[in-house]
């Protein structure tokens, strides 16, 4: 019990750190992106590419961007890198604490044919492989052909989602793809963007030329990161919305969502430089509506079903839910009822009818990992009970 309690604190602290570091990182990257778009590029001093005035938090700010670099290396010179590194480190630890330590419950599909160890290894392999392939593509000529490049990345993500879907539970598939893309983003910072900046600083110190390719290399990677951002953020919060990932085609939904979010990001990038495309808004709107329609729960097929009594329901709940959702769970994985959700008494069951319906009938993500082997007949009984007035 004590151990589980402490693990919860660990997980809570890591999640908080992850969110804070992530906000600092993505916030700064949004800000610099915005800055680049809004720089005033006329009437600048010699050697200045653009300037900008801003008012924020009770003060006026003035900022200039150099075409190359200043005459002497300024002190102190601020870097933005620890935000990215801490986001990854805390994210990876979270992934381990939540998904790897309890792989049978959180990572693997309930009917998965592989063991926890293979599950964890295939997750790690995905993180590594996606970066290696992406990096090779960036170093090849393909990177200059935007559409082909995007197409290949999209296909890799799709194949990964499909393959992971055969061994992981649907929520873990989303987390895995999110972690893969997030890892590429941080690796871009660590292996490319920061080294490029170091060379820039060295050039400033030695007053040497900076090659065009060098700047372009950093620019390309941070541009990719810009497009990866929304999909990653989405994957990280999708876990709270079973309607997204839990259907039979959760992995297809994932691919559609990535596509839509990249289009949204693209729209804002175009808008940032004054080239907003209304046709893109139309495509995005239609896609979102189509997705909402496609994921809508189907109306019950069987109408004249025999009524299910609350006693029958309680029996099912006791068998499949109470090991976790009780004031003192008997499950070895949880010290307290997950999310404070308890269904030990008839009153509690009736009060939580909608939630039971949502999690065990519509999305079928409960019982978690279906470790108790809940059958379709049992779900059907819950459905009939919940849909009856
Ligand atoms: C192995 C343990 C386990 C079992 C068994 C289990 N659950 Fe859960 N349940 C969880 C965990 C963990 C969460 C929290 C998931 C999260 O944070 O996304 C949860 C969350 C929920 C929630 C969301 C609560 C909220 O409002 O946030 C509902 C509803 C729920 N479970 C219902 C059920 C039902 C109904 C059953 C039985 C059919 C069941 N659970 C069986 C572990 C379990």
pLDDT for 332 equals 80
Q: Is 269 a pocket residue for ligand 1 (Cβ < 6 Å)?
A: no
How remote is the CA of residue 251 from the centroid of ligand 1, in Å?
22
Judged against a pLDDT cut of 80, whether residue 42 lies above it is answered with yes
- Is the CB of 105 within 6 Å of ligand 1? yes
**Per-residue model confidence (pLDDT) at position 321:** 94
Q: How confident is the model at residue 333 (pLDDT cuts 50, 70, 90)?
A: confident
158 lines ligand 1 (CB under 6 A): no
Ligand 1 in reach of 355 Cβ (< 6 A): yes
Q: Tell whether ligand 1 has an atom less than 6 A from the beta carbon of residue 341.
A: yes
Q: What percent of the chain has pLDDT over 90?
A: 66
User: 301 pLDDT exceeds 70?
Assistant: no
Q: What is the pTM of this model?
A: 0.81
Q: Is 247 a residue whose pLDDT tops 80?
A: no
On the question of pLDDT at 190 being above 90, the answer is yes
Question: Residue 149 pLDDT > 90, yes or no?
Answer: yes
The verdict on the CB of residue 94 being under 6 Å from ligand 1 is: no
Give the Å distance between the CA of 91 and the centre of ligand 1.
Answer: 23
Q: Where are the domains of the chain?
A: 83-295, 310-387
Contact 216, 19 (CB under 8 A): no
Residue 302 has pLDDT above 60, yes or no: no
Q: How far apart are alpha carbons 370 and 236 in whole angstroms?
A: 22
**Ligand 1 atom 12 nearest Cα:** 338
Residues contacting 251, CB < 8 A, separation 6+: 161, 162, 164, 165, 170, 173
pLDDT > 60? residue 278: yes
Task: Please indicate whether residue 366, judged by its CB atom, sits closer than 6 Å to ligand 1.
Answer: yes
Which residue lies with its CA nearest to atom 19 of ligand 1?
338
pLDDT at 179: 98
Does 84 contact ligand 1 (Cβ within 6 A)?
Answer: no
| pLDDT score, position 214 | 87
DSSP assignments along 199-268, one per residue: HHHHHHHHT----HHHHHHHHHHHHHHHHHHHHHHHHHHHTT-HHHH-STTHHHHHHHHHHHHHHHHHHH
Confidence of residue 304 (pLDDT cuts 50, 70, 90): low
Range of weakest confidence among 22-26, 28-32, 103-107: 103-107
Instruction: Look at residue 4 and tell me whether its pLDDT is greater than 80.
Output: no
Work out the average pLDDT over 26-41.
Answer: 92
Pocket residue to mutate for ligand 1, from 324, 357, 369, 374, most atoms within 8 A of Cβ: 324
Q: What is the pLDDT of residues 198-215, one digit of tens each?
A: 999 999 999 898 888 888
Task: Identify the band that residue 224 occupies on the pLDDT scale cut at 50, 70 and 90.
Answer: very high
Please return the burial class of 224, using the count of CB atoms within 10 Å of its CB with bins 0-12, 13-18 and 19+.
buried
Q: Provide the pLDDT for residue 272.
A: 84
Q: How far is CA 272 from CA 37, 50, 227, 355, in A?
A: 6, 16, 14, 42
DSSP designation for 68:
S
Torsion 320-321-326-329 (CA) sign: positive
pLDDT for residue 300 is more than 70: no
When pLDDT is cut at 50, 70 and 90, the band that residue 307 belongs to is confident
- CA dihedral sign, ordered 347, 383, 361, 104: positive
pLDDT (tens digit per residue) in 89-146? 999 999 999 999 988 888 998 778 899 999 999 999 999 999 999 999 999 999 989 8
Nearest CA, atom 37, ligand 1: 321
pLDDT digit string, tens, across residues 345-362:
999 999 999 889 888 988
Q: Which atom of ligand 1 is the closest one to the Cα of 355? A: 29
The lowest-confidence range among 125-129, 266-270, 363-367 is 363-367
Residue in 15, 241, 368, 379 to alter for ligand 1 test, most ligand atoms within 8 A of Cβ: 368
Measured in angstroms, how far is the CA atom of residue 367 from the centroid of ligand 1? 6
CB of 323 closer than 6 A to ligand 1? Answer: yes
- The alpha carbon of 371 and the centre of ligand 1 are apart by a number of angstroms equal to 12
Q: What percent of the chain has pLDDT over 70?
A: 98
Residue 196 predicted with pLDDT over 80: yes
The whole-number pLDDT of residue 79 equals: 93
Ligand 1 close to Cβ of residue 360 (< 6 A): yes
Q: Is 179 in the pocket of ligand 1 (CB under 6 A)?
A: no
DSSP 260-321: HHHHHHHHHHHHHTT---HHHHHHHHHHHHHHHHHHSPPPPS--SPPP--HHHHHHHHHHHT
CB of 386 sitting under 6 A from ligand 1: no
Q: How far is the CA of 118 from the centre of ligand 1 (A)?
A: 25
* Average of per-residue pLDDT across 36-48: 91
pLDDT in tens, 47-103: 999 999 999 999 999 999 998 889 889 989 999 999 999 999 999 999 999 999 988
User: Mutate which of 104, 107, 367, 374 to test ligand 1's pocket (most atoms within 8 Å of Cβ)?
Assistant: 367
**CB neighbours (10 Å) of residue 137?**
16
Residue 243 has a pLDDT of 84
């Amino acid at each position: 019990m004590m151990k589980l309690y402490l693990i919860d604190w660990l997980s809570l602290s890591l999640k908080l750190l992850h969110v804070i570091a992530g906000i600092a990182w993505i916030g700064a990257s949004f800000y610099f992106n915005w800055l680049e778009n809004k720089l005033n590029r006329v009437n600048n001093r010699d050697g200045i590419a653009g300037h900008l005035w801003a008012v924020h938090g009770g003060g006026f700010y003035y900022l200039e961007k150099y075409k190359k670099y200043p005459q002497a290396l300024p002190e102190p010179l601020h870097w933005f890198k620890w935000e990215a590194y801490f986001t990854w480190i805390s994210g990876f630890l979270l992934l381990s604490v939540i998904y790897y330590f309890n792989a049978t419950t959180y990572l693997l599909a309930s009917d998965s044919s592989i063991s926890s160890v293979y599950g964890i290894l295939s997750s790690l392999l995905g993180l590594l492989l996606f970066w290696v392939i992406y990096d090779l593509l960036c170093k090849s000529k393909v990177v200059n052909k935007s559409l082909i490049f995007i197409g290949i990345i999209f296909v890799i993500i799709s194949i990964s989602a499909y393959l992971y879907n055969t061994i992981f539970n649907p929520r873990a598939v989303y987390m895995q793809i999110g972690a893969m893309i997030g890892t590429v983003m941080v690796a871009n910072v660590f292996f490319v963007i920061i080294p490029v900046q170091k060379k820039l600083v060295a050039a400033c110190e030695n007053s040497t030329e900076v090659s065009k390719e060098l700047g372009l290399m950093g620019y390309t990677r941070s541009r990719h990161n810009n497009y990866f951002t929304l999909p990653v953020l989405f994957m990280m919060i999708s876990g709270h919305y079973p309607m997204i990932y839990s259907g039979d085609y959760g992995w297809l939904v994932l691919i559609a969502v990535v596509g839509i979010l990249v289009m949204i990001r693209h729209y804002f990038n175009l808008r940032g430089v004054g080239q907003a495309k209304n046709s893109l808004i139309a495509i995005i709107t239609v896609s979102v509506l189509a997705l909402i329609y496609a994921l809508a729960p189907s109306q019950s097929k069987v109408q004249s079903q025999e009524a299910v009594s609350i006693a029958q329901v309680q029996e099912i709940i006791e068998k499949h839910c109470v090991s976790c959702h009780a004031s003192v769970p008997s499950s070895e994985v949880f010290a307290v009822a997950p999310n404070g959700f308890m269904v030990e008494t008839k009153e509690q069951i009736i009060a939580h009818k909608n939630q039971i319906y949502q999690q065990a009938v519509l999305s079928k993500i409960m019982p978690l990992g279906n470790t108790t082997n809940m059958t379709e007949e049992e779900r059907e009984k819950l459905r009939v009970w919940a849909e009856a007035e």
